[in-house]
Amino acid sequence: MVLKSVRWWVVAAALAAFSLSAAAQESVVTVAFVESQPNTLDLHAARTADEFLVLRNVCEGLVNYDPVTLEPVPALAESWTISEDGLVYTFNLRQGVTFFDGTPLTAADVKYSLDRLSDPAFGTSYTAGLVLRDVAGWAQARPTTPSVGEGTPTPEPIPPAGEISGVQVVDDNTVQVTLSRPVTSFLTRLTLPGAFIIAQGSAEAGFANGPMCAGPYSVAEFVQNDRVVLRANENYWGGAPEVKTAIIRVIPEASSQVIEFEAGLLDVSVAPEADLPRLRADAQLSERLVTIPTLGLYNLRINLKDPKMGDVRVRRALALAVDRQLIVDTVLQGNGVPADYLYPKGLSAHTGVSYFPRDVEAARALLAEAGYPNGIELTVRTDQNETENRVLNAMAATVADAGITLIVSSTDAAVYTQDRTACTMEMGGIRWGMDYPDPENMVVLLLPNAATRVNCGYGEVDVADEIAELNTRAISMPLGEERNAVFAEIERIAMEEVLILPVYSGATTRLVSSRLGGQPIDANGVVRFALIDLP
Q: How far is the CB of 226 from other proteins (least distance, A)?
A: 4
Given the complex with other proteins, which of 42 and 323 has the nearer CB atom? 42
Q: Which residues contact other proteins (rule: CB under 8 A)?
A: 2-3, 6, 10, 13-14, 16-17, 20-21, 36, 39-40, 42, 45, 47, 120-121, 124, 126, 129, 142, 144-146, 223-227, 249-253, 255-256, 259-260, 262-263, 265, 412-415, 417-418, 420-421, 430, 432, 435, 449-452, 454
At how many degrees (to 10) do helices 312-321 and 386-399 cross? 100
Contacts of 41 (CB under 8 A, 6+ apart): 51, 54, 55, 58, 207, 208, 210, 211, 219, 222, 228
Given the complex with other proteins, which of 20 and 407 has the nearer CB atom? 20
Q: How far is the CB of 221 from other proteins (least distance, A)?
A: 12
Given the complex with other proteins, which of 124 and 393 has the nearer CB atom? 124
Q: How far is the CB of 110 from other proteins (least distance, A)?
A: 24
Alpha helices (H) in 221-265, listed in sequence order: 254-262
Q: How far is the CB of 452 from other proteins (least distance, A)?
A: 5
User: Which stretch of DSSP H or E encloses residue 464?
Assistant: helix 464-475
Given the complex with other proteins, which of 81 and 145 has the nearer CB atom? 145
Given the complex with other proteins, which of 240 and 450 has the nearer CB atom? 450
Q: How far is the CB of 313 from other proteins (least distance, A)?
A: 27
Q: How far is the CB of 446 from other proteins (least distance, A)?
A: 13
Given the complex with other proteins, which of 227 and 280 has the nearer CB atom? 227
Nearest to 230 by CA among 535, 527, 534, 518: 527
First-residue to last-residue Cα distance in the chain: 51
Measured CA to CA, the distance from residue 112 to residue 91 in angstroms comes to 15
Q: How far is the CB of 14 from other proteins (least distance, A)?
A: 5
Q: How far is the CB of 29 from other proteins (least distance, A)?
A: 16
Nearest to 38 by CA among 57, 14, 18, 55: 55
Contact 402, 360 (CB under 8 A): yes
Given the complex with other proteins, which of 205 and 223 has the nearer CB atom? 223
Contact 209, 223 (CB under 8 A): no
Report CA-CA distances (Å) from 494 to 77, 320, 477. 38, 15, 20
Q: Please, which residues bridge with residue 476 across strands?
A: none
Measured CA to CA, the distance from residue 320 to residue 363 in angstroms comes to 6
Measured CA to CA, the distance from residue 333 to residue 505 in angstroms comes to 13
Q: How far is the CB of 34 from other proteins (least distance, A)?
A: 14
Report CA-CA distances (Å) from 125 to 178, 262, 302. 22, 36, 26
Nearest to 262 by CA among 467, 92, 514, 495: 514
Contact 194, 44 (CB under 8 A): yes
Given the complex with other proteins, which of 13 and 68 has the nearer CB atom? 13
Contacts of 347 (CB under 8 A, 6+ apart): 295, 437, 438, 439, 442
Given the complex with other proteins, which of 264 and 371 has the nearer CB atom? 264
